[in-house]
Amino acid sequence: MRKSNLRKFALYGCFVLLIIAFRSGFYIDIPVESLKPIYANEFSKFIEIDGMQVHYRVEGTGMPIVLLHGTGSSLHTWDDWTENLKENYRVIRMDLPAFGLTGPNKRGDYSIDGYTHFLDKFVSKMKLDSILLAGNSLGGHIAWKYTLQHSEKVKKLILVDASGLSTHKPQPWIFKMAKTPLLNTLFLYITPRYILKHNLQQVYEDDSKITEELVTRYHKMTLRAGNRGAFIDRAKSDIMHSESFKEDQLKSIQTPTLLLWGKNDQWIPVENGNRMNALMPNSELVVIPNSGHVPMEENPIESIQILNAFLNQKTEN
């Protein structure tokens, strides 16, 4: 009887904990029209590509510089860079498919090749013949693949903690969750703020820089209708190429390239920056101390100084 009572009590306790977790973390999708008043501004525009209404912004005048954000992020990750760059450049940034206000790709194509084709269509619709191109993490992978295919358009390439090569370490837990049956289904409904906060604590080196406003923005963008499902689909859709194939591709990029890395990046370690720098024939690596995976957010002053020094370098015609 005593063991039976303990078993019942344990089951009851698990049930209560599940209810608490469900109530504290259950969120319905937020319609994009409800998010526009908060996260779109006077520079925001929308352009149709592949049936999607792609959220983008254009600020400043001069040579176009296109900025691509990483997984789970949005064009807002470049806010600090944009404030500086728009004084001398035409800054163009967008919410990539599956993220931000743009939302899911109706075709469900979240492969790197799919993102590269998307960027090509965006560049064509914006009538950009010559650009500077920067990308962080996933955006960095898209940027170097696009440069590989359109070297005549990209005059300089900036890769910020870029993905594309194996990290030789376990994937971050949030990507493992997205690939795990049942857990990824629960993620569609149970997405508490603390999950996003914990995620930010992994990508930031200095947790004191993680504000409630920042957590709220990442959380709200995750809850944008369709984004949670798209995140899961993207995590499962990556086509794995051999490491030698990717290395050969990087060796083929002749474009002047800045590799900018946070020294304490837990997701894509600085060793990957060293490997890319050894492979790319016209690159330079600069490592930012006391920085994690998103130095343009976490260390805007240091990173923009490094960027401007690179952009001001003259290149041979």
Q: Can you tell me which residue has the tokens 């409800």?
A: 34
46-60, 82-96, 199-213, 239-253: least confidently modelled range: 239-253
Given a cut of 90, whether residue 93 has pLDDT beyond it is yes
58-67, 170-179, 200-209: least confidently modelled range: 170-179
Residue 15 is predicted with a pLDDT of 43
32-36, 80-84, 164-168, 236-240: least confidently modelled range: 236-240
CA 86 – CA 92 distance, rounded (Å): 9
More reliable by pLDDT, 106 or 121: 121
3-class secondary structure per residue, the chain: CHHHHHHHHHHHHHHHHHHHHHHHHECCCECHHHHHHHHCCCCEEEEEECCEEEEEEEECCCEEEEEECCCCCCHHHHHHHHHHHCCCEEEEEECCCCECCCECCCCCCCCHHHHHHHHHHHHHHCCCCCEEEEEECHHHHHHHHHHHHCCCCEEEEEEECCCCCCCCCCCCHHHHHHHCCCHHHHHCCECCHHHHHHHHHHHCCCHHHCCHHHHHHHHHHHHECCHHHHHHHHHHHCCCCCHHHHHHHHHCCCCCEEEEEECCCCCCCHHHHHHHHHHCCCEEEEEECCCCCCHHHHCHHHHHHHHHHHHCCCCCC
Residue 19 is predicted with a pLDDT of 46
Between the two ends of the chain, the Cα-to-Cα distance in Å is: 86
Given a cut of 70, whether residue 16 has pLDDT beyond it is no
Residue 9 is predicted with a pLDDT of 44
For 160-196, b/e burial (b = at least 16 CB within 10 A) is bbbbbbeeeeeebebbebbeeeeebeebeebbebebb
More reliable by pLDDT, 158 or 181: 158
Given a cut of 90, whether residue 80 has pLDDT beyond it is yes
CA 87 – CA 23 distance, rounded (Å): 47
More reliable by pLDDT, 46 or 1: 46
User: CA 70 → CA 53, 101, 222, distances in Å?
Assistant: 19, 14, 13
Per-residue pLDDT reduced to its tens digit, 185-229: 777 778 889 888 999 999 999 999 999 999 999 999 999 999 999
Residue 185 is predicted with a pLDDT of 76
Given a cut of 70, whether residue 17 has pLDDT beyond it is no
Residue 73 is predicted with a pLDDT of 96
Q: Which domains does the chain have, with CATH numbers?
A: 32-311 (3.40.50.1820)
Q: How confident is the model at residue 7 (pLDDT cuts 50, 70, 90)?
A: low
Q: How confident is the model at residue 180 (pLDDT cuts 50, 70, 90)?
A: confident
CA 263 – CA 46 distance, rounded (Å): 36
Residue 235 is predicted with a pLDDT of 81
Are 138 and 70 spatial neighbours (Cβ–Cβ below 8 Å)? yes
Residue 59 is predicted with a pLDDT of 98
Q: Quote the percentage of the chain above a pLDDT of 90.
A: 74
23-27, 95-99, 246-250, 256-260: least confidently modelled range: 23-27
Are 183 and 275 spatial neighbours (Cβ–Cβ below 8 Å)? no
The mean per-residue pLDDT over the stretch 29-56 comes to 97
Average pLDDT, the chain: 90
> Which pTM value belongs to this model?
0.89
CA 220 – CA 225 distance, rounded (Å): 10
Residue 14 is predicted with a pLDDT of 42
Structure tokens at 16: 């209560």
189: nearest Cα among 20, 64, 28 = 28
29: nearest Cα among 193, 186, 170, 223 = 223
Given a cut of 60, whether residue 8 has pLDDT beyond it is no
Given a cut of 60, whether residue 10 has pLDDT beyond it is no
Per-residue pLDDT reduced to its tens digit, 222-258: 999 999 999 888 887 765 567 888 999 999 999 999 9
